[in-house]
């Protein structure tokens, strides 16, 4: 809640005090988990013979948390928290001014601390430094496994983007509705769709922030977005994306609230839920059949540009765009693979921080086919690195692949799901997700949850097949 407040309500002058508050809380929590008595307590609990599967899984998660916490001295935890808060606040000023030089000193200090954390956790976990950071967001994940999925896909991705653009160029271009679109009307449209999909406003809020996110707790979920009065689609799809995150949090088992096993499994599964809602569902023809009348009525507009087919084609336009959060479904993986490669190089010391803007531009040209005109639209666009979140980015595309596989399995399990979406009936899909994903929490590994739900391990071929069916079908 302190982070939510910092992003939505806190005056700029409160940054230093808030940094101290968050650092103090993190230190207190760290000292509790890293207490010297914890190993004996865990061993004693694990030795009990009458534990049920949920309890045993809970102890596994407790030990994992202890391993991460006990690897770090308290002063490093406190220093990292303060450096993250400081760098993030500098970034908030540097980004609109496209001033990478302004944030470079704070980012250098932060990266040095992140590298220390990675080294210490790597020694404790017995993995590489990057994998130690990755494990914070994707338990049990490894760069070797990611490479095995990403690299073959990266080889076919440029051609897939080219083919989609060629086919799109042969089709009649969709027409974008003309603004302005008042923020309050955009908010009303978003709330109507959020409620129909399943968001519970008795247990959540929608607010504004510089960078859209979903946070809070399962019983008090906080969603934020940012609005553009010239184009309502970015904010709307951003809200629907975060709604997917919120549904996952709300669907976690009540019996295990505030226990490690009751938390979401990891960020690739979390991203799968947001991308399943945004990309698989809300950019489908079925969804637009349902949503178009709501959008027309809410904005008080009429005309062919508000027809379901036009809105669907607008939502599935492929473009070599600069901004990750605004990228289409086909080019989005290129944005993620770019960041994954760069952050690994930064962490390993193979890429100097001062060379990041140039390296970013080169990678954008290689993978997306365009070069940013400034750093605001380049290496300053995302909050993650400036908040110390190294190892997070690959979970986005892992999540997209998982989303495609889960949605495919759900539709096979219940053929009424897709036609139901066109009628605004989301309960069957949400029920399937509650059973197969949300309700599993952290009882099993990500791989086990995917395999149990879909009948196979994560396979990028399912995602590629989805992209070809949506974007390359004549």
Q: Using one digit for the tens of pLDDT, what is the confidence trace for 424-437?
A: 999 999 999 999 99
Report CA-CA distances (Å) from 99 to 78, 103, 118, 204, 324: 27, 7, 28, 35, 19
Mean pLDDT over 99-127 rounds to: 97
Q: How many CA atoms lie within 13 A of 142 on its CB side?
A: 10
Q: Using one digit for the tens of pLDDT, what is the confidence trace for 84-110?
A: 999 999 999 999 999 999 999 999 999
Rounded CA-CA distance 129/111 in Å is: 13
Nearest of 244, 230, 304 to residue 274 by alpha carbon? 244
Q: Using one digit for the tens of pLDDT, what is the confidence trace for 372-384?
A: 999 999 999 999 9
Nearest of 312, 291, 303 to residue 190 by alpha carbon? 291
Residue 416 φ/ψ, nearest 5 degrees: -80, -10
Q: What is the pLDDT of residue 474?
A: 59
Band (441; pLDDT cuts 50, 70, 90) = very high
The percent of residues above 70 in pLDDT, for the chain, comes to 100
Q: Using one digit for the tens of pLDDT, what is the confidence trace for 35-92?
A: 999 999 999 999 999 999 999 999 999 999 999 999 999 899 999 999 999 999 999 9
The fold of 129-474 is 1.10.1370
Rounded CA-CA distance 267/272 in Å is: 8
Q: Using one digit for the tens of pLDDT, what is the confidence trace for 147-183?
A: 999 999 999 999 999 999 999 999 889 999 999 999 9
> Rounded to an integer, what is the distance from CA 308 to the centroid of its chain?
27
Q: Using one digit for the tens of pLDDT, what is the confidence trace for 217-227?
A: 999 999 999 99
Residue 205 φ/ψ, nearest 5 degrees: -140, 160
- Note whether 273 and 244 are within 8 A (CB): yes
Q: What is the pLDDT of residue 212?
A: 87
Kindly tell me the burial class for residue 467, based on how many C-beta atoms sit within 10 Å of its own C-beta (0-12, 13-18, 19 or more): buried
DSSP string of 97-126?
Answer: TT-HHHHHHHHHHHHHHHHHHHHHHHHHHT
- Note whether 121 and 72 are within 8 A (CB): yes
Q: What tokens appear for 166 in the block?
A: 């060629």
Mean pLDDT over 247-251 rounds to: 97
pTM listed for this prediction: 0.92
Residues forming the active site: 242
Report CA-CA distances (Å) from 385 to 8, 391, 406: 20, 9, 29
Q: Using one digit for the tens of pLDDT, what is the confidence trace for 306-354?
A: 999 999 999 999 999 999 988 999 999 999 999 999 999 999 999 999 9
The residue ranges of every structural domain in the chain are 2-128, 129-474
Q: What tokens appear for 316 in the block?
A: 């599935």
Q: What is the pLDDT of residue 19?
A: 86
Mean confidence (pLDDT) of the chain: 95
Nearest of 20, 176, 170, 148 to residue 447 by alpha carbon? 148
Residue 207 φ/ψ, nearest 5 degrees: -135, -175
Buried b (16+ CB within 10 A) or exposed e, 191-218: eebbeebbbeeeebebeebebbbbbbeb
- Note whether 117 and 72 are within 8 A (CB): yes
Q: What tokens appear for 162 in the block?
A: 């080219």
Helices within 263-393 (DSSP H only):
267-275, 285-299, 308-315, 332-348, 356-367
Band (15; pLDDT cuts 50, 70, 90) = confident
């Amino acid at each position: 809640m302190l982070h939510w407040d910092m992003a939505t309500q806190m005056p700029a002058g409160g940054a230093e005090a808030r940094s101290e508050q968050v650092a103090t809380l993190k230190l207190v929590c760290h000292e509790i988990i890293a207490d010297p008595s914890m190993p004996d307590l865990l061993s004693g609990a694990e030795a009990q013979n009458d534990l049920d599967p949920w309890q045993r899984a809970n102890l596994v998660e407790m030990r994992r948390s202890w391993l991460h916490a006990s690897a770090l001295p308290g002063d490093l935890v406190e220093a990292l928290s303060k450096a993250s808060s400081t760098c993030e606040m500098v970034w908030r000023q540097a980004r609109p001014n496209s001033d990478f030089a302004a944030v470079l000193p704070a980012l250098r200090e932060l990266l040095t601390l992140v590298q220390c954390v990675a080294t210490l956790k790597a020694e404790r976990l017995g993995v590489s430094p990057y994998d130690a950071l990755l494990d914070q967001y994707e338990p049990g994940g490894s760069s070797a496994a990611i490479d095995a999925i990403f690299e073959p896909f990266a080889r076919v991705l440029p051609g897939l983007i080219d083919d989609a653009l060629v086919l799109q160029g042969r089709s009649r271009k969709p027409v974008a509705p003309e603004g302005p679109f008042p923020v309050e009307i955009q908010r009303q449209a978003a709330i109507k769709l959020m409620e129909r999909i399943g968001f519970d406003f008795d247990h959540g809020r929608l607010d504004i922030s510089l960078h859209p996110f979903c946070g809070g707790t399962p019983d008090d979920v906080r969603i934020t977005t940012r609005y553009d009065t010239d184009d309502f689609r970015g904010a709307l799809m951003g809200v629907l994306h975060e709604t997917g995150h919120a549904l996952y949090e709300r669907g976690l088992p009540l019996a295990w609230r505030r226990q490690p096993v009751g938390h979401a499994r990891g960020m690739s599964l979390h991203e799968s839920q947001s991308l399943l809602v945004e990309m698989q569902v809300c950019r489908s023809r079925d969804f637009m059949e349902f949503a178009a009348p709501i959008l027309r009525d809410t904005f008080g507009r009429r005309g062919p540009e508000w027809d379901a087919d036009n809105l669907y084609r607008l939502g599935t336009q492929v473009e070599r765009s600069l901004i990750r959060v605004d990228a289409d479904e086909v080019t989005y993986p290129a944005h993620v693979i770019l960041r994954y490669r760069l952050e690994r190089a930064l962490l390993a010391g193979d890429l100097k921080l001062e060379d990041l803007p140039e390296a970013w531009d080169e990678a954008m040209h290689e993978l997306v086919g365009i070069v940013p005109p400034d750093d605001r639209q380049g290496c300053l666009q995302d909050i993650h690195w400036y908040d110390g979140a190294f190892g997070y980015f690959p979970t986005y595309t892992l999540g997209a692949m998982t989303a495609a596989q889960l949605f495919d399995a759900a539709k096979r399990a219940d053929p009424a799901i897709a036609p139901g979406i066109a009628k605004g009936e989301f309960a069957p899909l949400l029920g399937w997700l509650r059973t197969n994903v949300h309700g599993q929490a952290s009882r099993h590994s990500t791989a086990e949850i995917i395999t149990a739900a879909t009948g196979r391990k994560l396979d990028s071929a399912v995602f590629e097949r989805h992209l070809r069916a949506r974007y390359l079908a004549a």
